[in-house]
Chains A and B, each alone.
Chain A
Amino acid sequence: DSGVTQTPKHLITATGQRVTLRCSPRSGDLSVYWYQQSLDQGLQFLIQYYNGEERAKGNILERFSAQQFPDLHSELNLSSLELGDSALYFCASSVGIDRGYEQYFGPGTRLTVT
């Protein structure tokens, strides 16, 4: 158990809908990262937050957004969902910005868009 929690574990929804994925980092970790894992694209970095502020963006679509709250939990919002958004979404955390090489991953949320 990495100490990173994610909810829900599974999510099934229809195209065009909006969903919110939630992540709680390990105790003491200030940085949160979001990743998407699909069979054809592998594990892709989406976005990073540090202590409530956005620090880096990767291959994140404009339909997707995220935020980190004062209690350090983070939410990833996916809107106008398409079939191609079906994937595993992982959250990871690290102690600080300078420890980005030591990220601990949560169990993931499996999103199925029908």
Chain B
Amino acid sequence: EAQVTQNPRYLITVTGKKLTVTCSQNMNHEYMSWYRQDPGLGLRQIYYSMNVEVTDKGDVPEGYKVSRKEKRNFPLILESPSPNQTSLYFCASSLQGHQPQHFGDGTRLSIL
């Protein structure tokens, strides 16, 4: 089944404790992206990747890192999480950058 898989689905953690949210897609998509969704602000793009080893900042990259060492994986890293990063996070992918994206189920992250 074609899908975008994020893990974990839910995480409660504390300020400053490094965490990684994984994202994997099995559709051989070139384009992958991370979004956060907050009430009243909609989805905002954090980082995106056009292909392996190619990443670029979205609208809200501060406090996040990403890597794209393999085509299928695009992890989101929070080196020193803070409470303002509490949010609902979505990973998405598309065959190419100009095509519609498929979204993962989301990761609900709470940072205390």
Do these two chains interact? no
Q: Spell out A's residues near B (CB within 8 Å).
A: none
